[in-house]
Amino acid sequence: MTSRPTITAFAASPDEGRGLARDMRVRWALEEAGQAYDVRLVSFAEMKQPAHRALHPFGQIPTWEEGALALFETGAIVLHVAERHPGRLLPLEADARARAIMWLFAALNTVEPPIVELEQSEYVEGDRPWHAERVPLMQAAVRRRLDDLSRRLGEAEWLDGGFSAGDLMMVMVLRRLEGTGIVDEYPNLAAYVARGEARPAYRRAFEAQRAVFAAAKGG
Ligand code: GTB
């Protein structure tokens, strides 16, 4: 990667700098890769304008621009960063590399959907009379995934050998359960998330996104 990429992030993230918006995934990958980057902050209104939709058809963040290349979708962007920096976020050995990519997809396609459903239900249907009955069902669906993930991880440090893009994505997906107490029911998963958060690259990415919120608040 020769040129310096630009990513987009919320000008005013609803998470108030807690690193839960998805630009955090891209920032973390870039920090792991040692790749400097620029950030363009966008408001909710700007995200829905044609200029931003040309980059992101669904009017969301994050996006990626690097020379003639424009990307959206955090999975695709993290994979792109990993592929451009061999050995940093993907193993060099072909089979191990395929398994790391498998875990990246597993985080996004298998573990994240029930977590997002649980999270979003509060906003989308929280005032409906049947919502309270659905919550335990959605929590059970999340726990089914975490039961299996916890069993597979066991006492290992990372999901498959060394830290990879698959771990990065899985840690970020599990972080979406913050405040629910569900991850803490699985001591090995709680320790796994803590290991991810302790990585220097994670810390740098976290501080960078938190600085956006701090600056907006006037320091
Ligand atoms: N599949 C896409 C990807 O992975 O890149 C999803 C991108 C996405 O959901 N982007 C969100 C967005 O732009 C921001 S990250 N939303 C605005 C919109 O759709 O209009 C999701 C997010 C937002 C806020 C919090 N939070 O406050 O805790 C957490 C996660």
- Average pLDDT (193-215) is 97
In this prediction, residue 217 has a pLDDT band, given cuts at 50, 70 and 90, of confident
Do 159 and 153 form a contact (C-beta atoms < 8 A)? yes
Nearest CA to ligand 1 atom 2: 73
**Considering only CA atoms, which residue is closest to atom 30 of ligand 1?**
21
Q: Model-level pTM?
A: 0.97
The answer, yes or no, to whether the previous bond of 62 is cis (omega within 30 of 0) is yes
Domain ranges (residues) in the chain: 6-88+201-216, 94-199
Query: At 219, which amino acid appears?
Result: G
Same fold, 6-88+201-216 and 94-199: no
Report the CATH fold assignment for 94-199: Glutathione S-transferase Yfyf (Class Pi); Chain A, domain 2 (1.20.1050)
**pLDDT digit string, tens, across residues 77-123:** 999 999 999 999 999 999 999 999 999 999 999 999 999 999 999 99
**Two structure tokens written together for 103:** 């875990």
Residue 65: strand, helix, or coil: strand
> Considering only the top CATH level, what class is 6-88+201-216?
alpha beta
C-alpha distances out from residue 54 to 40, 50, 92, Å? 15, 6, 34
Please say if the pLDDT value at position 2 is more than 80: no
pLDDT interval class at 31 (50, 70, 90):
very high
Residues near ligand 1 with C-beta < 6 Å?
Answer: 14-15, 20-22, 47, 59-61, 73-74
Distance from the CA of 155 to the center of ligand 1, in angstroms? Answer: 32
| Cis geometry, peptide bond prior to residue 57 (ω within 30 degrees of 0) | no
The CA distance from 189 to 195, in Å, is 10
Mutate to test the pocket of ligand 1, among 25, 55, 60, 116 (most ligand atoms within 8 A of CB): 60
Q: Assign residue 139 a region: left if phi > 0, alpha if psi is -120 to 50, beta otherwise?
A: alpha
pLDDT at 213: 94
